Structure 1
Amino acid sequence: MHTLLLLSALVADPGIESLTYQGELSQVERGQQTAVVKEFTAECFLSEQAGAVNATTLIQESTSRLPWAELVTWQSSVNTTDLAPAFGYRHMEKLYAVTGMFPLLASPEPLQKGLEWKSGPGSFEVVGEEMVGDVKCWVVESVTGPARKHQIFVQQDRPVVERLKQTVFMGQGDRFELTLQRTKSEVLPAESATKTLNAMLHLQAMKESLERDPYDRTADITPQSTAVAQEQIEELMASVKGTRFENYVASISRDLGNRAQREMEVSELRDKFVGQPAPSFTLTQLGGEPVPAEDLAGKVVVLHFWTYQEKPLEQPYGQIGYLDFLATRFRDKPVTVLGVAVDNRLGTPESRTAVVRSIKRLTSFMKTGYEVTLDTRNALNQFGNPTRLGAELPLWVILDQSGTVVHYHSGYYEIDNQRGLKELDELIADLLEK
């Protein structure tokens, strides 16, 4: 049964227990732990129904945070496919979602010494029992990949993790150790439990409506998801009032407000440029020569301002794969697609070589065919530079055959399964028919 339905069935008897965990992430070098590089707190709300234990987990972290939609997760002890709680850690300039094997450990049958089972890529074995504080626990050893060995201490009377020691790898085989310990537990009073259950139901309904990609938990909240959340935020704030989710939802509300303000300012910037002749700008080819004016004259021009760095490389890679698909589709038409690399190192010839080398490695890896140029003369600023408003690259600008700006968009597009960047595809096709 779906976790949301299980929770719904509990409304008449909402016995809920709150567990608090303290977690630390340490990097391991030459077999020895170094200093702790990340600390976080997790509060889990447990309920039981029809022999299953259900858990709602809220992660609290202050640095390198994951998008707010990923800080709350739902699990059931009878479902091994539920998303585990995760926290963010930035390593080698890349944000990782580090998942923890808690607060529940699903197994095919009740734990006992000698029990072995497999789940996905992982193998599990109950190797013994041990007291953790005053709690009797089963000691479960797990292997989820090469050198990925973990110890999970599970309460003997229920499938709840008491302590955890987990191996994590990031970057190019850099090893970390995640340790976790339950530090507190309390049964919520009936009134508080009822409010908490209502809050969890509303939170889960909103998260499901966002349709997040479960395989890309570091992805930013999309404009489409932002719009969905804005429609629900007032009702959600009312539902969490007086619960331990109140501060979390208040942070969501602040983020949505900031995004709305930023979108309004970017919209004003868009209105300033669209319908007007493009400002004077110059782009530089990777070899150092300016892009010839005849490459742009009388053509539909697509400008894609982005970092074009090979590292850190994170999905969706500036959507350059979809842009390349678009460029290929119109390669026999009077259409010029130009990537524009934006990088502070372009300001000096000494560091420019490293930028060009990085661009070439990226385009080779991604197998892109359109030309990537350098913004050495502040072309991004000529087009308003929405990053000054807190918006993120890429910036997409389309000029028609007369050099007029007809499209201006900051951020990512929704992708059509058949046509990729459908909005741009349709716009270019319309311009070519004129």
Structure 2
Amino acid sequence: MHTLLLLSALVADPGIESLTYQGELSQVERGQQTAVVKEFTADCFLSEQAGAVNATTLIQESTSRLPWAELVTWQSSVNATDLAPAFGYRHKEKLYAVTGMFPLLASPEPLQKGLEWKSGPASFEVVGEEMVGDVKCWVVESVTGPARKHQIFVQQDRPVVERLKQTVFMGQGDRFELTLQRTKSEVLPAESASKTLNAMLHLQAMKESLERDPYDRTADITPQSTAVAQEQIEELMASVKGTRFENYVASISRDLGNRAQREMEVSELRDKFVGQPAPSFTLTQLGGEPVPAEDLAGKVVVLHFWTYQEKPLEQPYGQIGYLDFLATRFRDKPVTVLGVAVDNRLGTPESRTAVVRSIKRLTSFMKTGYEVTLDTRNALNQFGNPTRLGAELPLWVILDQSGTVVHYHSGYYEIDNQRGLKELDELIADLLEK
């Protein structure tokens, strides 16, 4: 919000400079760089107000993209805690948000040789000066953890990063090197600057309204955030017209349209099942035996179709922690909670062993107590398989005591701080009272 206030103060004098950075991510093996594994471009828009330099950064990447809400960030040179720009990289099947130490470097006082300071766990030291092209820069060395050493070249007349060499770790200690270089700069004409400022104000207002978790930048856009964005998208598209943000917002609009279409199709699927007797289906226990019919007869049954694989394990972990909380709450009631592992490898006994082993490691790690079964006989397809429509697992299906489908939901739920999966909790409680 601090940066938004500073941007608002610029309306009378929207002097804006545009910078372009080119970035590369390379993997390091045995101390040597291998091939470049990711390239990206960053467009930064700088303004100065009340002695502070403010930056709005738009990341442009073509593969392994982060959710669109994470591709724009705001920073101020007087606030070291602002969210840094980030790009996506998928390493060993897991998507990471790789943050870069640019375009601004916040420091407690103007840089000079020998200056040292700390910001949280990170330490910084100005070790010298160097020309980067025709730009005089301070050379700042930073350490943010074991073996995490970085070199930042900062323009001497302002806290703007000119070049960056940053160490990144992913997976189980796999090392990468991020290099970044400013390649272009221009002062925007007054009319263009005014349009750009207006676009930035609208973009930041929308991003703040989404209430994203700053510690989980790979998380998908939630249905709640999608609804919020839908309400603002037309005004946002009008505000960015003729600016460098136009293509970015057009991609947001396309994504929202795709999500709306997918939700309509899943809703039609939901209407097909809810209120009808559950289709015939068979689940297999991890030991290979079918789930006994008496485990389901006359009970409220919660089916949670998900991958149940330990790797790659990404938040929110299929919300299985919250499902386990729900199962524990109703464990003394006539309620059966079953996880249903969906995996193409279940088709053959040879590969099924690896799937079961992975499930056991996951449930041990997550300390879940409800039973996890195997979908060896296409139970997911019997319930319509919303992944065919582009929807993602988990799929949640609830059957009442008579075997009728009373709830059908694809994706994640909004979590209540006190009751976790509140919507399911209330539904099950109501069914038990009947």
1:210-229 pair list within 5 angstroms: 210-229=210-229
Map Cα deviations across residues 321-357 of structure 1 (whole Å, 9 max, x no partner): 0000000000000000000000000001110000000
Q: CA deviation at 1:157?
A: 0.1
CA distance in 2, matches of 1:60, 1:7: 22
Q: CA deviation at 1:314?
A: 0.4
Q: Secondary structure at the match of 2:145?
A: coil
Map Cα deviations across residues 250-306 of structure 1 (whole Å, 9 max, x no partner): 000000000000000000000000000000000000000000000000000000000
CA distance in 1, matches of 2:356, 2:162: 51
Q: CA deviation at 1:373?
A: 0.1
CA distance in 2, matches of 1:256, 1:244: 20
CA distance in 2, matches of 1:15, 1:334: 67
CA distance in 2, matches of 1:120, 1:60: 29
CA distance in 2, matches of 1:90, 1:5: 35
CA distance in 2, matches of 1:210, 1:120: 27
Partner of 2:83: 83
CA distance in 1, matches of 2:145, 2:259: 40
Q: CA deviation at 1:396?
A: 0.1
CA distance in 2, matches of 1:422, 1:7: 39
Q: Secondary structure at the match of 1:391?
A: coil
Q: Secondary structure at the match of 1:365?
A: helix
Q: CA deviation at 1:170?
A: 0.1
Q: CA deviation at 1:30?
A: 0.1
Q: CA deviation at 1:405?
A: 0.1
Q: CA deviation at 1:160?
A: 0.0
CA distance in 2, matches of 1:156, 1:241: 35
CA distance in 2, matches of 1:166, 1:189: 34
CA distance in 2, matches of 1:318, 1:367: 14
Unaligned runs of 5+ in 2: none
Q: CA deviation at 1:13?
A: 0.4
1:317-396 pair list within 5 angstroms: 317-396=317-396
Q: Secondary structure at the match of 2:327?
A: helix
Map Cα deviations across residues 145-185 of structure 1 (whole Å, 9 max, x no partner): 00000000000000000000000000000000000000000
CA distance in 2, matches of 1:68, 1:322: 27
User: TM-score by structure 1 length?
Assistant: 1.00
Map Cα deviations across residues 27-81 of structure 1 (whole Å, 9 max, x no partner): 0000000000000000000000010000000000000000000000000000011
CA distance in 1, matches of 2:283, 2:5: 57
Map Cα deviations across residues 400-428 of structure 1 (whole Å, 9 max, x no partner): 00000000000000000000000000000
CA distance in 2, matches of 1:47, 1:82: 16
Q: CA deviation at 1:212?
A: 0.1
Q: Secondary structure at the match of 1:39?
A: strand
CA distance in 2, matches of 1:431, 1:28: 56
CA distance in 2, matches of 1:2, 1:183: 29
CA distance in 2, matches of 1:204, 1:289: 54
CA distance in 2, matches of 1:8, 1:346: 57
CA RMSD, Structure 1 to Structure 2 (Å): 0.4
CA distance in 1, matches of 2:108, 2:81: 13
Q: Secondary structure at the match of 2:163?
A: strand
Q: Secondary structure at the match of 1:150?
A: strand
CA distance in 2, matches of 1:109, 1:414: 43
Map Cα deviations across residues 220-241 of structure 1 (whole Å, 9 max, x no partner): 0000000000000000000000
Q: CA deviation at 1:216?
A: 0.0
Partner of 1:153: 153
Q: CA deviation at 1:137?
A: 0.1
Q: Structure 1 runs of 4+ off > 4 angstroms?
A: none
Q: CA deviation at 1:119?
A: 0.3
Q: CA deviation at 1:190?
A: 0.1
Quick one: percent identity of the two aligned structures?
99
CA distance in 1, matches of 2:49, 2:419: 46
CA distance in 2, matches of 1:3, 1:94: 32
Q: Secondary structure at the match of 2:137?
A: strand
1:131 aligns with 2:119: no
Q: Secondary structure at the match of 2:23?
A: strand
CA distance in 2, matches of 1:5, 1:412: 34
Partner of 2:300: 300
CA distance in 2, matches of 1:398, 1:140: 57
User: TM-score by structure 2 length?
Assistant: 1.00
CA distance in 1, matches of 2:329, 2:95: 33
CA distance in 1, matches of 2:108, 2:323: 46
CA distance in 1, matches of 2:121, 2:189: 40
Unaligned runs of 5+ in 1: none
CA distance in 1, matches of 2:298, 2:198: 60
Partner of 2:170: 170
CA distance in 2, matches of 1:383, 1:140: 58
Map Cα deviations across residues 67-116 of structure 1 (whole Å, 9 max, x no partner): 00000000000001100000000001000000000000000000000000
